[in-house]
Amino acid sequence: MLSACGENQNNNANSKKTTELTISAAASLSDALKDVQKRYEKVHPNVKLHFNFGASGTLQQQISQGAPADLFFSAAEDKFNVLVKSGLINKSEGINLVGNEVVLVIPKDSDTKISSFTELSKPSIKKISIGTPEAVPAGAYAEETFKNMKLWDSLQPRLVYAKDVRQVLSYVETGNVDAGVVYKTDALISKKVKIVDSADPKTHSPIVYPVGIIKDTKHKKEAKAFYKYLQKPSTVKVLENYGFKKIS
């Protein structure tokens, strides 16, 4: 009897075993995915989601170098495709989930008279923050926009580079810069900045957020379940509530 009781206890413990999934995700997804996390863990109590937020380029490099991850949710297709081409993500287990917009923001209490990207060339605008283009997709989109608007050369001396969009947002919120370029989703979650202009989609590459399962995940079943959950209309709606755009 004692032996049987012990076996039952072990079986119960195993049935309640918790799996932790690690999702490397773009910093701009932070608030939206924390909301998704609450909803998912409520209906999947045996799964805990751990998010590693950062610049997509940095996350891609970490995964390429062997950092543990079960899924990658990027803010740019090129960073995602590096992992597909290197065989770390199967193309069939990746999808472009949502889109975004690039906007120009200034501190909410700023006296700066600026209402468009073209006005960044004003002498009164001393510092402009963008993400480091090589690692931060939002920074790459900002560079593209500036170049296509013939502003890049004149603005370069005034640029303050940041490690990700959240740092750009922080620089603007604290008044350490006069303006910054972030995703619309980041601007919407801050009460300390105001959007003064949106970049014309024609001035930059399409902003797409792909998500995929890391091929060598040790939790394939759970990773696939969360991957499918992210694609549900109700989950995409949550992302839309944070300013992301549905991809038709």
Q: Does a structural domain hold residue 2?
A: no
Q: Does a structural domain hold residue 6?
A: no
Same-domain pairing of 107 and 183: yes
CATH number at residue 122: 3.40.190.10
pLDDT more than 70, % of the chain: 93
Same-domain pairing of 191 and 106: yes
List the domain range (segments joined by +) for residue 70.
Answer: 16-99+207-246
Neighbour-count burial of 33, counting CB atoms closer than 10 A to its CB (0-12 exposed, 13-18 middle, 19+ buried): buried
Q: Does a structural domain hold residue 188?
A: yes
Q: Does a structural domain hold residue 67?
A: yes
Asked if 56 contacts 69 with a C-beta cutoff of 8 angstroms, the reply is no
Q: Does a structural domain hold residue 7?
A: no
Count: domains in the chain = 2
Q: What is the pLDDT of residues 181-209, one digit of tens each?
A: 999 999 999 999 999 999 999 999 999 99
Same-domain pairing of 25 and 91: yes
Same-domain pairing of 90 and 117: no
Task: Tell me the average pLDDT across 29-52.
Answer: 97
In this prediction, residue 143 carries a pLDDT of 98
Same-domain pairing of 140 and 189: yes
Q: Does a structural domain hold residue 146?
A: yes
Q: Does a structural domain hold residue 1?
A: no
Same-domain pairing of 197 and 220: no
In this prediction, residue 211 carries a pLDDT of 98
Same-domain pairing of 79 and 124: no
Task: Tell me the average pLDDT across 17-34.
Answer: 96
Q: Is the pLDDT of residue 11 over 50?
A: no
What's the chain's average pLDDT? 93
Asked if 53 contacts 167 with a C-beta cutoff of 8 angstroms, the reply is no
Q: Is the pLDDT of residue 6 over 70?
A: no
**Phi, psi of 75, deg, nearest 5:** -100, 10
Same-domain pairing of 94 and 106: no
Q: Does a structural domain hold residue 73?
A: yes
pLDDT band at 70 (very low <50, low <70, confident <90, very high): very high
Task: Tell me the average pLDDT across 58-85.
Answer: 97
In this prediction, residue 116 carries a pLDDT of 97
Q: What is the pLDDT of residues 108-161, one digit of tens each?
A: 999 888 999 999 999 999 999 999 999 999 999 999 999 999 999 999 999 999
Same-domain pairing of 90 and 27: yes
